[in-house]
Amino acid sequence: MATLQYILKRLFLMIPTFFLVMIIIFVLVRFLPGDPAIAIAGDRASDADLEAIRERLGLNEPMLVQFWLFVTNTIQGDLGSSILMRAPVTEVIFNRLPTTAFLTLYAVGLSLLIAGPLAFVAALNRGRWPDVLIRTVFQVGLSMPVFYIGLILLTFLAAQLRWFPVGGYGDTFGARLYHLFLPSVAVALYTSAIIMRNLRSAIIEVLDAEYVQFARAKGLPNRLILGRHVLRNALISTVTLLGLSIGNLMSGTLVTETVFAVPGVGRLMLEAIFARDYPLIQGLTLTFAVLVSVVFLLTDLFQSTLDPRMRLT
């Protein structure tokens, strides 16, 4: 019950945040260089045509009126129509969202799979060669941009060796895992480096904690000490980091989706920006804001289940 109350309270507190986000989105979008009417009708359209398009999009209304319409429609769940896709923005986004969600979770899953065990190996061998090797490799991963790694993977593993598809998105779960493998690896290389670094130092710190020494003094088997006493405590800070870096993760996804031609919301965002598709840009940005807030909330909830000292208030 306390948890439910806490969630409701947090959702309520999100309202002012979203209002602020809407103001920022609205202003930013209007300052994008270029004219949406030209983007729609093309360079050679007549002035009259452009004027008609502007009228239809409501771009001739005063700014405040446009904003008012934006806010009231959004509250009713209406994000307008995408100029580019000629369909309701909500529909366009909801069609594309699962792909991105899949890719993001896939990348996070891969990152944990890669970083978790390696962080343990590095931490338990602190200062010796396995630690040095692991840290060096991840440092390289950290300093290479996702875009660049994506292109390399694409060129070698997909285009030349033809082990993986060059783009697209499968129909079945298995096909999706296969299609999205390279894109997730591209994202995971960066994310796993961050997780590895954080988890490694967290494990090292926890290993020296008095309660771990006490657990050893109790004569517990080593796997229990590592799994129950060390990992759980070390995970708290890593989960927080992972939650807080959701923004980074999503911008990584945006680049990856573009490089690998994955039809997700990241690529949609780029398309929308190029097309000056105001409603779609607004809708997408708002969606990102909602996602980030929800992930933050989930992070806090997860933390409080892990750590009894974190009371929900």
Partner 1 sequence: MIDQKPILEVSNLCTTFRRGGVDLPAVRDVSFSVGQGEVLGLVGESGSGKSVTLRSILGLSRRYGDVTGEVRWLGQDIASMPERKLRHIRGREIAMIFQEPMTSLNPLLTVGMQLTETLKAHTDLNRAARRDRAIEMLDHVGIPSAASRLGEFPHQFSGGMRQRVMIAIALAASPKLLLADEPTTALDVTIQAQILDLILSLADEMQMGVILVTHDLGVVAQTCENVAVMYAGRVVEQGAVRQVLGAPRHPYTVGLMRSVPQNVPPRTQLYSVPGTPPSLEALPVGCAFASRCQNRTERCLTARPTLDAITDDRRVACFNPVAAEKAGAA
- Residue ranges binding partner 1 (CB under 8 A): 209-222, 224, 228-229, 232-233, 306-309
Residue 9 vs 216, nearer CB to partner 1: 216
- Tokens 């082990």 correspond to 163
Phi-psi region of 261 (alpha: psi -120 to 50; beta: other; left: phi over 0): left
Angle at 306 between CA 295 and CA 225, to 5 degrees: 135
Please report how close the Cβ of residue 68 comes to partner 1 at its closest, in angstroms. 50
- Tokens 């927080």 correspond to 240
- Tokens 């602020």 correspond to 20
Please report how close the Cβ of residue 207 comes to partner 1 at its closest, in angstroms. 9
Residue 86 vs 309, nearer CB to partner 1: 309
Residue 214 vs 274, nearer CB to partner 1: 214
Please report how close the Cβ of residue 98 comes to partner 1 at its closest, in angstroms. 34
Residue 30 vs 228, nearer CB to partner 1: 228
Please report how close the Cβ of residue 307 comes to partner 1 at its closest, in angstroms. 6
3-state secondary structure 149-211: HHHHHHHHHHHHCCCCCCCCCCCCHHHHHHHCHHHHHHHHHHHHHHHHHHHHHHHHHHHCCHH
Please report how close the Cβ of residue 4 comes to partner 1 at its closest, in angstroms. 21
Residue 124 vs 298, nearer CB to partner 1: 124
Residue 203 vs 269, nearer CB to partner 1: 203
For residues 168 and 180, give the distance between their C-alpha atoms in angstroms, rounded to a whole number.
8
Please report how close the Cβ of residue 228 comes to partner 1 at its closest, in angstroms. 7
**Cα 138 to the center of its chain, rounded Å:** 20
Residue 125 vs 251, nearer CB to partner 1: 125
Please report how close the Cβ of residue 236 comes to partner 1 at its closest, in angstroms. 8
Concatenated DSSP letters of 85-151: TTEEHHHHHHHHHHHHHHHHHHHHHHHHHHHHHHHHHHHHTTTSHHHHHHHHHHHHHHHS-HHHHHH
10 Å CB burial of residue 283 (0-12, 13-18, 19+) is buried
